[in-house]
């Protein structure tokens, strides 16, 4: 079992030219310019999906660029040499009958289009124009800055986001910008075309990107199109991930609590965050984290029985986000207001038992694994979603990690889970936040007990 994880980690370091392991009907090539191309053959419906993912996002952003990977992603859809304004760009998406979007996360920026399979060539040319030949005009940026800021304001109107951002400032300290894709209002509203070009030159190069062609396609033809269209994309002299290293996140040094008042929060919410494992340093921990989270989601688990079955909370979710650079472990709780104190104390009681030998049964461990296996069947049900799933793992782990995940998951032992809990949760500093409206804060006074 250890061997498998060791292999995953090593493979990440040496995979620059080696053929990665891939699931059935997945095909991989690397072009001479370093662009990796994966074709996923799936003939369920007569559609093709194309996606380009770039290793960019919040983790590459220092304070002066906070939120600009996201603004850049918006500008992708604005103007380029073939479609010089957004009206023409949108018109082309309509001609292709395309469903499209882009997202910016912590460790990935991706762009994707789904259309009729016969539009594959046209779609790839369209993608090529947008990713390689964007046009940044000051007037376009003036219009797009408030759009991006408007997306930010929508998030800020939700108490869940307010709690998240306040918590994460404390969890990541000086490097918070590297975990916050939405960014900073001031930086977004003063962004210049020059900054866009800086991002493009640093990260939008073939040897930092992955092209996925997925759906009702012929792999040979798809690779041929990819080579003809993207083969002359000029690579960077050096791997951007090495040339622009990411600073290490400092560990949380002391447990911190806060209570934030918000008039929008009609019911309180609690978030607790620890710094968890990452792919670079503890591949086995990332998988053990998923299995442990799944165990805690089972109705029979001590966690669910103590909190949901007893009617103390509406939801109590424990999750881990797989990351290349320190993934967060998060507990999100929606307590019943009148039972908030009892709920919180029980949460702390449960967390204190996470590392005990008898915290879960062998049957629950087996049940969690069976559940995750079935989850795999569901995750691969929608062909057009396969590209985005693949690019997430490519950016935050490796293609081998994706392929070996369920084999590795099946081998996770009780000891692996205890190692994970002891290394990242039990007795470790964390950040605990609560968002609550003023009336409930006065009525229930959580400050009396929700503290260090």
Q: How many residues does the chain have?
A: 452
Q: Tell me how far apart the alpha carbons of residues 222 and 64 are, in angstroms, rounded to a whole number.
A: 39
CB of residue 13 to other proteins, shortest distance in Å: 33
Among 135, 355, 371, 419, binds other proteins (CB under 8 A): 371
Is residue 63 within 8 Å of 226, Cβ to Cβ?
no
Spatial CA neighbour of 104 closest among 168, 57, 141: 57
Closer Cβ to other proteins, 90 or 229, answer by number: 90
The answer to whether residue 319 forms part of the interface with other proteins (CB under 8 A) is no
CB of residue 316 to other proteins, shortest distance in Å: 12
Per-residue DSSP letter, 45 = S
Among 16, 142, 438, 445, binds other proteins (CB under 8 A): 142
The answer to whether residue 47 forms part of the interface with other proteins (CB under 8 A) is yes
The answer to whether residue 361 forms part of the interface with other proteins (CB under 8 A) is no
Angle between helix 414-424 and helix 283-297 axes, rounded to 10 deg: 100
Strand pairing partners for 435?
260, 269
Continuous H helices in 173-252 = 185-189, 193-203, 219-230, 240-243
Among 370, 422, 438, 439, binds other proteins (CB under 8 A): 370
Among 319, 375, 389, 419, binds other proteins (CB under 8 A): 375
Element (H, E) at 333: strand 328-335
Task: Give me Rg for the CA atoms of the chain.
Answer: 23
Q: What six digits make up the tokens of 242?
A: 């090495």
The DSSP string of 144-156 is HHHHHHHHHHHHH
Q: Tell me how far apart the alpha carbons of residues 228 and 124 are, in angstroms, rounded to a whole number.
A: 10
Q: What six digits make up the tokens of 132?
A: 């390689």
The answer to whether residue 314 forms part of the interface with other proteins (CB under 8 A) is yes
CB of residue 46 to other proteins, shortest distance in Å: 6
CB of residue 131 to other proteins, shortest distance in Å: 14
The answer to whether residue 267 forms part of the interface with other proteins (CB under 8 A) is yes
CA torsion, points 207, 208, 214, 218, in degrees to nearest 10? Answer: 0
Collapse the DSSP code of 325 into the 3-class scheme (helix H, G, I; strand E, B; otherwise coil) and give the result.
coil
Over the window 395 to 424, marking each residue x when it contacts other proteins by CB under 8 A and - when it does not, the resulting string is: ------------------------------
Q: Tell me how far apart the alpha carbons of residues 342 and 312 are, in angstroms, rounded to a whole number.
A: 7
By CB under 8 A, what part of segment 160-179 binds other proteins? Answer: 160
Among 18, 46, 218, 251, binds other proteins (CB under 8 A): 46
CB of residue 254 to other proteins, shortest distance in Å: 30
CB of residue 9 to other proteins, shortest distance in Å: 29
Among 25, 32, 64, 158, binds other proteins (CB under 8 A): 158
CB of residue 162 to other proteins, shortest distance in Å: 9
CB of residue 274 to other proteins, shortest distance in Å: 24
Closer Cβ to other proteins, 12 or 58, answer by number: 58
Over the window 85 to 124, marking each residue x when it contacts other proteins by CB under 8 A and - when it does not, the resulting string is: -xx--xx--xxxxxxxxxx----------xxx--------
Collapse the DSSP code of 426 into the 3-class scheme (helix H, G, I; strand E, B; otherwise coil) and give the result.
coil
CB of residue 297 to other proteins, shortest distance in Å: 9
Q: What six digits make up the tokens of 342?
A: 């009892």
By CB under 8 A, what part of segment 211-240 binds other proteins? Answer: none
Q: Tell me how far apart the alpha carbons of residues 268 and 260 are, in angstroms, rounded to a whole number.
A: 10
The answer to whether residue 77 forms part of the interface with other proteins (CB under 8 A) is yes
By CB under 8 A, what part of segment 325-344 binds other proteins? Answer: 334, 336-337
What's the distance, CA 422 to chain centroid? 25
Which residues lie closer than 8 Å to 27 by C-beta, 6 or more apart?
38, 39, 40, 41, 219, 223
Is residue 149 within 8 Å of 188, Cβ to Cβ?
yes
CB of residue 369 to other proteins, shortest distance in Å: 10
Strand pairing partners for 99?
114
The answer to whether residue 146 forms part of the interface with other proteins (CB under 8 A) is yes
Among 238, 250, 264, 345, binds other proteins (CB under 8 A): 264
Of 54-62, 156-164, 197-205, 345-353, the segment contacting other proteins by CB under 8 A is: 156-164
By CB under 8 A, what part of segment 284-313 binds other proteins? Answer: 298-300, 305, 309, 311
């Amino acid at each position: 079992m250890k061997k498998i994880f060791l292999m995953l980690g090593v493979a990440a370091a040496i995979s620059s030219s080696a053929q990665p392991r891939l699931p059935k009907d997945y095909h991989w090539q690397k072009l001479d310019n370093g662009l990796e191309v994966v074709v996923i053959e799936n003939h369920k419906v007569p559609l093709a999906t194309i996606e380009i993912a770039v290793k960019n996002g919040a983790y590459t952003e220092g304070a002066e660029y906070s939120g600009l990977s996201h603004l850049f992603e918006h500008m992708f859809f604005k103007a380029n040499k073939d479609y010089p304004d957004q009206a023409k760009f949108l018109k082309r998406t309509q001609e292709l009958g395309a469903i499209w979007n882009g997202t910016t996360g912590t460790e990935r920026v991706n762009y994707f289009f789904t259309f009729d399979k016969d539009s594959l060539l046209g779609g790839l040319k369209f993608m090529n124009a947008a990713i390689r030949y964007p046009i940044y005009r000051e007037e376009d940026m003036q219009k797009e800055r408030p759009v991006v800021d408007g997306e930010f304001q929508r998030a800020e109107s939700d108490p869940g986001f307010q709690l998240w951002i306040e918590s994460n400032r404390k969890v990541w300290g000086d490097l918070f910008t590297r975990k916050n894709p939405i960014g900073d209002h001031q930086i977004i509203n003063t962004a210049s075309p020059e900054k866009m070009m800086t991002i493009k030159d640093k990260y939008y190069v073939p040897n930092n990107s992955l092209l996925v062609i997925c759906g009702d396609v012929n792999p040979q033809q798809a690779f041929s199109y990819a080579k003809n269209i993207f083969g002359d994309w000029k690579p960077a002299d050096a791997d951007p991930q090495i040339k622009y290293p990411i600073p290490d996140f400092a560990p949380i040094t002391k447990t911190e609590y806060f209570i934030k008042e918000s008039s929008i929060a009609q019911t309180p919410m609690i978030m607790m965050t620890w710094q968890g494992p990452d792919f670079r340093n503890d591949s086995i921990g990332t998988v053990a984290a998923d299995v442990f989270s799944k165990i805690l989601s089972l109705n029979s688990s001590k966690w669910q029985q103590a909190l949901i079955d007893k009617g103390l909370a509406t939801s109590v979710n424990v999750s881990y986000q797989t990351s290349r650079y320190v993934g967060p472990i998060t507990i999100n709780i929606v307590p019943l207001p009148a039972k908030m104190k009892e709920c919180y104390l029980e949460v702390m009681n449960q967390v204190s038992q996470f590392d005990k030998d008898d915290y879960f049964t062998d049957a629950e461990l087996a049940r969690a694994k069976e559940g995750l296996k079935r989850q795999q069947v569901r995750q691969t049900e929608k062909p057009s979603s396969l590209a985005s799933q693949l690019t997430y793992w490519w950016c935050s782990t490796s293609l081998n990690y994706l392929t070996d995940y369920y084999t590795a998951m099946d081998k996770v032992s009780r000891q692996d889970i205890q190692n994970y809990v002891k290394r990242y949760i039990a007795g470790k500093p964390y950040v605990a936040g609560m968002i609550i409206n003023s009336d409930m804060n006065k009525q229930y006074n959580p400050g009396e007990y929700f503290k260090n």
